[in-house]
Amino acid sequence: WQPILTAGTVLPAFFIIGLIFIPIGIGIFVTSNNIREYEIDYTGTEPSSPCNKCLNVSWDSTPPCTCTINFTLEHSFESNVFMYYGLSNFYQNHRRYVKSRDDSQLNGDNSSLLNPSKECEPYRTNEDKPIAPCGAIANSMFNDTLELYRIDNDTRTPITLIKKGIAWWTDKNVKFRNPTGDGNNLTALFQGTTKPVNWPKPVYMLDSEPDNNGFINEDFIVWMRTAALPTFRKLYRLIERKNSFQPTLQAGKYSLDIAYNYPVHSFDGRKRMILSTISWMGGKNPFLGIAYITVGSICFFLGVVLLFIHHKYGNRNTSADIPN
Amino acid sequence: CAGEENWVDSRTIYVGHREPPPGAEAYIPQRFPDNRIVSSKYTFWNFIPKNLFEQFRRIANFYFLIIFLVQLIIDTPTSPVTSGLPLLFVITVTAIKQGYEDWLRHKADNAINQCPVHFIQHGKLVRKQSRKLRVGDIVMVTEDEKFPCDLIFLSSSRGDGTCFVTTTSLDGESSHKTYYAVQDTKAFHNEQEIDALHATIECEQPQPDLYKFVGRINVYHDRNEPIARPLGSENLLLRGATLKNTEKIFGVAIYTGMETKMALNYQSKSQKRSAVEKSMNVFLVVYLCILVSKALINTVLKYAWQSEPFRDEPWYNQKTEPEKKRNLFLQAFTDFLAFMVLFNYIIPVSMYVTVEMQKFLGSYFIAWDEEMFDEAIGEGPLVNTSDLNEELGQIEYIFTDKTGTLTENNMEFVECCIEGHVYVPHVICNGQILHDCTGIDMIDSSPGGSGKEREELFFRALCLCHTVQVKEDDSIDGLKKSQVPRKSCIYISSSPDEVALVEGIQRLGYTYLRLKDNHMEILNRENNIERFELLEIFSFDSVRRRMSVIVKSSTGDIFLFCKGADSSIFPRVKEGKIEQIRSRVQRNAVEGLRTLCVAYKKLTEKEYSNVQRLLQNAKLALQDREKKLAEVYEKIERDFILLGATAVEDRLQEKAADTIEALQKAGIKVWVLTGDKMETAAATCYACKLFRRNTQILELTTKKIEEQSLHDVLFDLNKTVIRQNGSLTRDTFSGLSTDTQDYGLIIDGASLSLIMKPRHDGSSGNYREIFLNICRNCSAVLCCRMAPLQKAQIVKLIKLSKERPITLAIGDGANDVSMILEAHVGIGIIGKEGRQAARNSDYAIPKFKHLKKMLLVHGHLYYIRISELVQYFFYKNVCFIFPQFLYQFFCGFSQQ
């Protein structure tokens, strides 16, 4: 099929494309613009930063190095707020890294628990004991603790951070399973394994609640879903809107308390904390809207130009196709 | 026999496996292959290894095999399964297809090898399977059976020891040919007699030439010296030919199985590859380069990026111990291979299969085309190879046969000219024959008394001077059918002209009835039967280009009637209105009619007996029989009295002119290659608008070369053409070009062979180059007097010329097969001269006019489709792989 391009078909096509795309673009752009987003880099590379003292922290420093960053929200966040941590220059997509996990171990397979896959090397065993969970991904799990406070007339009120519901349902309920056995005592179930080298605590002590502990700890699950690009953000906590009269986060002063455990300086990494609301189309992304508007406008503009040309010169080409 | 010593190799065959009498010669049993024909490629056992080997010779398959092996050996981003499975699928599908085809071939072979053959053992008739036939067996073949192997013809049920054979499936000639039994054995008519034959045959080792055979038979009678008889090709019945009009024959097998001339001639059709496939391969190489360079770039970048240790091994992503220890260069090499594997999909694994499927399904579009269906023969176009569909759209040169392709090969008697008076059977109007009219229309005034006599003589001559046979039933068996169904007799002849003449004369009132007891019977205008005793036939041959008969009328007069081409008759005429007839003949020739002249001479008894004696001597000569006969003919066929001339029209196929015009408009150069003579061929070319009125004809013929040297002629022509070209470019620049003069070139076979002959002295340039240059600048080229091999030579010449144009050859007869096989695309016309051409072609169409649609519609569409498909495939794969490539920059070149 080969369309025959005439003014009669091309001009309406241009106008229709323009007329459809421009409103779509505007809609998307406005939606994206309504999303509130706030980002703090707390790596602490600059000497002025409060976290600078923690820059060269190591894994096992106890007590953890803590720092506090104060910030001000200019606009209030109306709907539910998502709290992310972001890492830069962290190659979670490196092939050696991505492969370094044992999915059947994470799925609660007892034999894999004690005999993890070869892929986990060199994070497979430690002191002749199998590591649970094994592999580079689990070993490098993000372990900073972030806490948010609202500062109101010099009083710090903590903001409730919800740590459940941040993982995918399928991950939490299908892909990740704790090992099965007699009783629900995770300590007993993980008998014979050892913690990943970099972890301060074994996997069965990640959380106090039993349905968020072990392999089904949601922070762990979120981490295990590797990011595709070296700069990424992962969901950390949720902040729910209390009631419909009050915004979730009012404009004002806040402070972020950080237990700085995770070293990124050695590979030039950055750490961020992001607060964001979402809309029906996800997070803040003005690009799509702008692209729609641009294409629509170009089409509309070309339509106008072509219409002009057609109107002015169009009726000439019927008469003179045999140049002398 | 002469030349016997020169036989490089000969075989001795013991007829009926009987030893020769002691003392004659040592009995050396020789081993010959049995009569099994094998055309299949694989056996049950070697199918898998052989087929796999064949398949992996294909570059794409081999490539994927390598990728697969690399994946098995080193640690790669994709698992071996992902590339192994498609490869396995492709290989299996192809293997199943080829296995099925081979199974069909096996079945066909078995059918042939197991068909029953009658042969004689200990005086009895035995039925056996064909494959058990051995050299030396005596075989009986009955009418309409095919010969199971190459036989020496011993005897037939016909008293004169002849039989009739069609070799349609061998060389495409549908005419009946006469073969002669060995003189000493033709008397054996039943099994016992034939079994008693005691003889040996010496003959050459098998060779593929169908028309050449040298041998000798030694017949032993009791205690006597053996009688030696020469054997020639007229004694050799070839496998694949069919016995006709003869009840049964006996023969002895000399070549069996794969040694028969048919099997030796069976050349497997060389695989023709289309230009698209070739360019596809070029694409593949280019893509391979892209792939390698991508992998190389990535490897280099990877190591550059990794040079900083915190990138190579950040704390969160340590290497394992063996990885750390590995040699850097080995590591780099495996990385390179891993990148290759990662990007390997840039070369589409499924493309070959998809393209083949597309072509296979696409080929049905031609076969389904209702506009190309021919109702007359009830057949549509046939597609023999689907590989070349798209080539149809890229044709630059068409080589076409004339007879049967441009013309219908359906001879029509148009007129005769007696003593300068022109007679036209007026029943022919617009090419339609009205059967109920039998009168004639005399254009000139009615001739006088003597004219009347001559006229009758003329008609009788035409009625008698031929080798037409009458078949008295009206069943159609693929042979020439009479145009006059109400008479329910069918004329069969080796030459369609003769049939046309006899039929034409029938409409003029003289009907040839039959040949009975050596008497020819004709029904004259008064419905009386006249009987002539047939004394001699001097059969037609292409050197003499005439034939004669000697007949004795009921009144006792002996006449010699001769019929032949004008050039061979006129010099032998001593009386008659030569000038008038000559002018008429020339006019007819220019109109594209085939002309024949008829002359006669009266012989006295004495003269006849003289003739008889001469002939007898010549026929009995063992050596140079042909030559001596020719000499005798020369002696006899002279001093004729010219009677008149006939004209037979070979009508153009419908819309042939239309088609050629359309093709020329499409920028395709049309060449006509024919074996016909120049005048006729040129006339046909004018008639089908290959040459137009304003076409300037350049002639490169023997006549012209005789006048000047070949060198001068070529240079002259070249100059003409080049000058034309120069002025043409100037014209186009000045924008004043009007109707450009186009050139037509006529060349004949003899001059062509002069041009093609490699020059040893190397004095002045290459004639071929000049010739090609001339041809390229001519809009139409006509090559006449071409041998089949020369046709192929021309095609090859053009095919291998600088621009490598894509050529198409179209023809209908066995003489076109070589050129059909040579050209890029061969098209056969499902025509009258057998199906040989159609079978060897890539496509077969019922009529020449269908070529127009085939090339300009189907070919064009196929070309567009296939190029879009291939381009889309590569585009798709680039789209698929390029993001992968870019992603490497974001994942630390880790082949993720």
CB contact B318 to A (< 8 Å): yes
Residues of B in contact with A95 (CB under 8 A): 77, 891, 894-896
Indicate whether B729 pLDDT > 80: no
Q: Is the Cβ pair B320, A121 closer than 8 Å? A: yes
Helix (H, G, I), strand (E, B) or coil at B289: helix
B735 is in an annotated binding site: no
Position B441, amino acid? D
- Strand pairing category for B215-219 and B199-204: antiparallel
Residue B8 near chain A (CB below 8 Å): no
Express each pLDDT in B408-443 by its tens digit.
666 677 777 776 667 665 444 333 333 333 344 444
B635 within domain boundaries: yes
* CB-closest option in B315, B316, B321 to A122: B321
Min CA distance, A264 vs chain B (Å)?
9
**The two three-digit tokens of residue B17, written as one number:** 């496996």
Per-residue confidence (pLDDT) for residue B273, from 0 to 100? 66
Would you tell me how many other CB atoms lie within 10 Å of the CB of residue B719?
11
Tell whether B463 is covered by a domain: yes
Question: Is B791 annotated as ligand-binding?
Answer: yes
Contact B99, B47 (CB under 8 A): yes
A122 contacts chain B (CB < 8 A): yes
Position B270 pLDDT exceeds 60: no
- Specify the DSSP element, H or E, that contains B794: helix B788-799
Interface contact B891-A230, CB threshold 8 A: yes
* Residue finishing a domain among B205, B237, B261: B261
Cβ within 8 Å of residue A303, ≥6 positions away: A11, A14, A15, A18
pLDDT above 70 coverage of chain B, percent: 75
Please check whether residue B314 touches A, CB under 8 A: yes
In this complex, is the C-beta atom of A90 within 8 Å of any C-beta atom belonging to chain B? yes
Active-site residue identified among B137, B335, B387, B401: B401
Note whether A60 contacts B: Cβ–Cβ < 8 A.
Answer: no
**Has residue B126 been placed in a domain?**
no
Tell me the pLDDT tens digit for each residue of B1-60.
334 444 446 777 777 776 666 555 555 666 677 777 777 777 888 888 888 888 787 777
Of B758, B840, B864, the residue nearest B267 (C-alpha): B840
- 10 Å Cβ neighbour count for B84? 17
Cis peptide, bond prior to residue B447, ω within 30 of zero:
no
Task: Report CB contact under 8 Å: B316, A139.
Answer: yes
Chosen for mutation from A95, A100, A270 (greatest number of chain B CBs closer than 10 Å) is A95
Pick from B261, B291, B316: which residue ends a domain?
A: B261
- pTM for this entry: 0.67
Question: Is B335 a residue of the active site?
Answer: no
Q: Kindly report, residue by residue over B124-154, the tens digit of the pLDDT.
A: 777 878 777 777 788 888 877 778 888 888 8
Consult the annotation and say whether B412 binds a ligand: no
Query: Is residue B84 in a domain?
Result: no
pLDDT at B741: 61
B531 assigned to some structural domain? yes
**B144 is a domain residue:** yes
The closest alpha carbon to A92, from B316, B886, B78, B75, belongs to B316
User: Residue B886: closest CA among chain A residues belongs to which residue?
Assistant: A229
Q: Would residue B65 count as lying in a domain?
A: no
CB-neighbour burial class of residue B633 (10 A; exposed 0-12, middle 13-18, buried 19+): buried
pLDDT band for B171, please (50, 70, 90 cuts): low
B514 touches chain A (CB under 8 A): no
Chain B residues with CB under 8 Å of A97 CB are: 316-317, 894
Name chain A contacts of B77, Cβ cutoff 8 Å: 95
Q: Which of B496, B508, B429 is nearest to B462 (CA)?
A: B508
User: Residue A131 carries which DSSP code?
Assistant: B
The answer to whether B676 is a known ligand-binding residue is: yes
Our count of domains for chain B comes to 2
Q: pLDDT tens digit string along A286-306?
A: 888 999 999 999 999 999 998
In this structure, what CATH number is given to the domain that contains residue B511?
A: 3.40.1110.10
- Per 3-state DSSP, chain A is made up of helix, strand and coil in percentages (nearest 5) of 35, 20, 45
Please name the helix (run of DSSP H) or strand (run of DSSP E) that holds residue B459, with its range, or none.
Answer: helix B449-464
Whether B773 and B767 have beta carbons less than 8 Å apart is answered as no
- Is B639 part of a structural domain of the chain? yes
> Any binding-site annotation on B675?
yes
- Range(s) of the domain holding residue B555: 409-437+453-472+488-651
Domain final position from B651, B678, B696: B651
Structure tokens that stand for A133 in this block:
């969970």
DSSP code of residue A34: H
- B270: Cβ contacts below 8 Å, ≥ 6 apart: B821
Residues of B in contact with A123 (CB under 8 A): 318
Interface of B with A in 70-99 (CB under 8 A): 77
DSSP one-letter code for A115: S
> Looking at residue B223, which CATH number applies to its domain?
2.70.150
Q: CA angle B314-B316-B321, nearest 5°? A: 75
pLDDT, residue B727, reads: 47
The pLDDT value recorded for residue B476 is 39
Q: Which among B308, B310, B317 is the top mutation candidate for probing chain A, defined by the most A β-carbons within 10 Å of its own β-carbon? A: B317
Q: What is the pLDDT of residues B278-332, one digit of tens each?
A: 777 788 888 889 889 988 988 888 888 888 777 777 777 777 777 777 778 888 8
Q: What is the CA radius of gyration of chain A?
A: 27
Instruction: Compare CB distances from B315 to A98, A229, A266 and report the shortest one's residue.
Output: A266
CB B208 within 8 A of CB B264: yes
